[in-house]
Structure formats: structure tokens, C-alpha cells
Amino acid sequence: MAIATHNPIMIERSQREASEQAYVVDLKKFIASDIDPICRELADTVREVNLPEINEQSRDEHIVVRKKLEKTKPYRDWVHLMRTAQDMMWDSIATPLDRQLEALNTKADIKNPRGSVTVDPGFTVPRYLTKSDVHRMPGGYAAINADGDVRQGAMYDLGGFIYHMGGNNGTLNDARGHTLMSHIYARDPDFNPQRILEMGCSAGNSSVAISGYLAGTEMHSIDASAGLVNYAHARAESMGATIHFSQQDAAATNFEDSSFDMVCSCVMLHETSKHTIADIFNECYRLLKPGGLMVHLEVPYRYEDLDLWGRIRADYEGQHNNEPFWRGFLEVDLETIAQQAGFIDRIETYQDVTRKAERGGGKMREKSLGVHRSWYIYSAIKPK
Ligand SMILES: C[S@@+](CC[C@H](N)C(=O)[O-])C[C@H]1O[C@@H](n2cnc3c(N)ncnc32)[C@H](O)[C@@H]1O
């Protein structure tokens, strides 16, 4: 069965609700195009004016500048607008979602599925995911109201489209999955796995995109949240994809040793600590067959590539958007972690974004082209 090019279980919106969401997209675009550059310029000016003081503490230059910016109106307005736009986004989704939640949960109860979904009532969601509502999404990833409930997944799915302002392949919000495959095909044009695992699948956007390239491959996707895997399953089934979803911790899964040809994730690692990333890499190593491939796609920059304003902006994610590990992740030494886990043929690169991966195509670069044009990728092989 061909994979559908739209998602039949996306939250339906009245014209008024859709236009409220279009307003949020416009507001986010306005902040990026009109307010962001003012703050960038102001940050450079603050640095210049305070040069001697900052030089003494150069390691944390951006923190000194940020603290001074926090006393200025443009920066405070920027923070206020960023937070407001994010909260307006979730509010604008909650209204249509709650109106149709019962119908959505019924639609998500798939009869005769091709794939499967398994949630674990005894599962303890890692504390770092329940401690705060990641992305300021009310209830976070982990809130669940009833068995089979899809609320958080549905909210995250529509939120992803608005958050990316359509730039991650429209409402499908799946360019990450295509870009991950593009990297794999650039590494190995003959890639034909029997069994693969995706970690941190969320609403299943990238999962369905990946599965579209791999007819005949047994695909498993896991996430720590029941509400997300329930929704991801319903979304995948409605779109014609065959995927086995389960609620599991990526750092300690219940799969057997050496049972996958590829283990991957899309934008999961930056939501975990350095310590957990090491556990996840060790788990990937355990799960892979000899010669198997580990691939993690991530946010499109590393700390050393960011300019002053980029670093201040990275702090914003932790301070105001409930992304406690964002800033730390940009500096994590994945190379050492992967090496210590035993991986070889390690590649750290930026992959050009695509909406259709081609075998032998796909471009890797040393420098990022920026948001929605590149994704950072770390990939490596388990020795034979
Ligand atoms: C930003 S979302 C991933 C988006 C998704 N992969 C995509 O491309 O659309 C990060 C996901 O990682 C999951 N996650 C974080 N830590 C995890 C862990 N230890 N085990 C399983 N899932 C985890 C979160 O629940 C969340 O759904």
C-alpha cells in the first residue's frame, strides 16, 4: 500500500481556528524577520561597549551580554513575544482538539491494523520528561487521560507544523525523516535493512517518512510517552504505513541483543542529558547487528558555529521554552561517547534537507546552511 501524502487524523479546524493559527505563524515569522535582527545588532553593540569587562570572562561572553540585554526593552520585548507566540500556538490547538477529542480517540482505535502499538501501564517516564512541559506544551509529552488516548500526540503533531511555520514539509512535518534517509543513502546507496528501530518517534512524522523508503523492512518505533505512540500508531495506519510502536525508554529497551540493522532518532538527543546520551549510544550498540548503522539527526548547529546572538538564543530554549538540555547538547562530545561505546566509521556532518531521498544522492557539508536547510547528523557503524 502506498503511503498517503496527507494525514487523515490531523485535528480538523474551523476557518476561524485555522486563521487564528495562521496569525500565530505570521507572528512567529514577524519575530524572526523584524525583532530578532534588532536584538542581534543590539547584542553586538553591547559587546563592543563593554569589551574590556567581557574579555576578562570570554568563556561566557554571551552570558555577560545577555545579562545586560535583559535590562533593555528590545530584548525583553523579544522574550515576551517569543513566549506569547508559543503559548498562543498551544492555546489555538487546544480549542479544536478538546472539541473533537472523543471522535479523534475513536478514529485512533484502529481495527485490523497492519502494524501495532504497545503501551506499558507499569512504565515510568524518565523524570526529565515529566519535570517540565517541554516546548511549553501544556501537559508535556507524558500527560495521558485514558487508555488509548491520543491527545498529546495530536497536539504535538499540529504544534510541529505551526512551530516550524510549515518549513519542515508542511502539515506532514516530516522532512527530518527524508533527510535522515538521504544521509543513509549517501553513506550506503545499497542500504536494504531487514529490521530497523527508531527512537523518540513522538507523533510518528519522521517514522512514516522513513518507512516509505523501506517496503518489506520490519520497522519499530519507540517513545517514552503513551499518548504519543498511541497517536503515532493511528497516524501511521491512517497513512498506510506498517510500523510497530511501543512505549519504551531509549536508554533501556526490551529488544534482544544484535537484532537490528539500523537504529536511528530524529531530534531526540537534544532533549536528554549527556549521561543519558551515553546510555542511549550503549543501547544502540547492544541492539545493532555487527555491521549495523546508528544514525541520529539533530538541530542544525553546534555551539562552536554559533555567533554571539545565536548563543544567547540557545540559552532562551532552556530559560523560557523548557528545553533544559538544549544548550548543553550543542556542546556534547558525541564523538567521544560513540568511540567509547565501540562505534567505528563515525561521521559528524550537516545533511542538506530533502523531501525525497535518492540512493547515492544527498549532500553532506561541514557547515550548516541553517534552519530548514540543513540538519546535523551523527552516524556510525558497529564493527563486524
Ligand atoms: C522532539 S521529539 C521527536 C520528534 C520526532 N522524532 C520527529 O522527528 O518528528 C523528542 C521525543 O523524544 C522522546 N524521548 C526523549 N527521551 C526519551 C527516552 N529516553 N526514551 C524514549 N523517548 C524519549 C520524547 O518523548 C519526544 O517525543
Task: Output the residue whose Cα is nearest ligand 1's atom 4.
Answer: 202
Pocket test for ligand 1, best of 253, 266, 268 (most atoms within 8 A of CB): 268
Provide mean pLDDT across the span 304-324. 95
Question: Best of 271, 274, 296 to mutate for ligand 1, by most ligand atoms within 8 A of CB?
Answer: 271
For residue 133, the model assigns a pLDDT of 95
Nearest CA to ligand 1 atom 14: 200
User: Span 250-277, mean pLDDT?
Assistant: 98
Q: For the chain, what is the domain count?
A: 1
CA gap 384, 284 in Å, rounded: 15
State the pLDDT at residue 179. 98
Average pLDDT over residues 118-140: 94
More confident residue, 180 or 47: 180
Residue 77 pLDDT more than 70? yes
Residue 275 CA to ligand 1 centre (angstroms): 16
Q: Which of 196, 223, 296 to mutate to test the pocket of ligand 1 (most atoms within 8 A of CB)?
A: 223
Nearest ligand 1 atom to the CA of 251 is: 19
Other CB atoms within 10 A of residue 267 CB: 16
Cα–Cα nearest to 89, from 163, 170, 1, 181: 163
Phi, psi of 368 (to 5 degrees): -75, 145
Q: Is the pLDDT of residue 59 over 80?
A: no
Q: What is the pLDDT of residue 50?
A: 85
What is the chain's Cα-based Rg? 21
Percent of the chain residues past pLDDT 70, beyond the cut? 99
Q: Which domain CATH number covers 271?
A: 3.40.50.150
pLDDT tens profile 136-195: 999 999 998 788 999 999 999 999 999 999 999 999 999 999 999 999 999 999 999 999
What is the model's pLDDT at position 54?
Answer: 74
Residues with CB under 6 A from ligand 1: 126, 129, 141, 176, 199-202, 205-206, 222-225, 228, 249-251, 266-268, 271-272
pLDDT band at 56 (very low <50, low <70, confident <90, very high): low
pLDDT of residue 2: 83
Mean pLDDT of the chain: 95
Sheet architecture: strand order including 288-298: 116-118, 244-247, 218-223, 195-199, 260-266, 288-298, 374-381, 344-352, 364-365
Q: What is the mean pLDDT of residues 86-90?
A: 98
Ligand 1: residue whose CA is nearest its atom 13: 200
Residue 57 is predicted with a pLDDT of 61
Is residue 58 predicted with pLDDT exceeding 80? no
Atom of ligand 1 nearest to the CA of 250: 20
Question: Does residue 235 carry a pLDDT above 80?
Answer: yes
Q: What is the distance between the alpha carbons of residues 86 and 221, in angstroms, rounded to a whole number?
A: 28
Least confident of 53-62, 131-140, 144-153, 332-341: 53-62
* Residue 1: pLDDT band with limits 50, 70, 90: low
Position 276 pLDDT exceeds 80: yes
Nearest Cα residue to atom 11 of ligand 1: 200
Structural domain boundaries enclosing 103: 1-384
14, three cell numbers: 474551523
pTM: 0.96
Residue 327 φ/ψ region, left for φ over 0, alpha for ψ in the -120 to 50 degree band, beta for the rest: alpha
pLDDT in tens, 2-23: 899 899 999 999 999 999 999 9
